[in-house]
């Protein structure tokens, strides 16, 4: 882990980013005190695939097929509340 001063970091900004992309953290200091950590960003979570959605649909229990439109959904919920 490197620890450049704020002045050094300003002139070495591209190199600090390259090092972060390689997985290295850098702590930028001001007057000898750490103030900023430059590190790689967290990797985004993988997107939900069609296979995942199919699996979830198979796991549903106690429910019929989902309603196709919002109007029918709201009407059904309203009618259940009146019982």
Please name every residue paired with 2 in a beta bridge, in sequence order, or none if there are none.
26
In a domain, 82, yes or no: no
pTM above 0.75, yes or no: no
In a domain, 55, yes or no: no
The residue segments making up the domain with residue 33 are 6-38
In a domain, 14, yes or no: yes
In a domain, 33, yes or no: yes
In a domain, 22, yes or no: yes
In a domain, 66, yes or no: no
pLDDT digits (tens, 9 = 90+) for 20-57: 999 999 999 999 899 999 999 888 888 888 888 888 88
pLDDT digits (tens, 9 = 90+) for 52-73: 888 888 877 666 666 567 788 7
User: Domain tally for the chain?
Assistant: 1
d(Cα 6, Cα 11) in Å, to the nearest integer? 9
In a domain, 74, yes or no: no
């Amino acid at each position: 882990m490197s620890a450049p001063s704020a002045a050094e970091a300003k002139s070495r900004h591209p190199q600090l980013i390259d090092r972060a992309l390689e997985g290295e953290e850098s702590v930028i200091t001001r007057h000898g005190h750490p103030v900023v950590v430059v590190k790689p960003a967290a990797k985004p979570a993988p997107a939900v695939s069609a296979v995942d959605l199919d699996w979830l649909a198979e796991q549903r229990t106690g429910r019929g097929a989902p309603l196709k439109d919002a109007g029918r959904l709201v009407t059904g919920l309203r009618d259940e509340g009146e019982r």
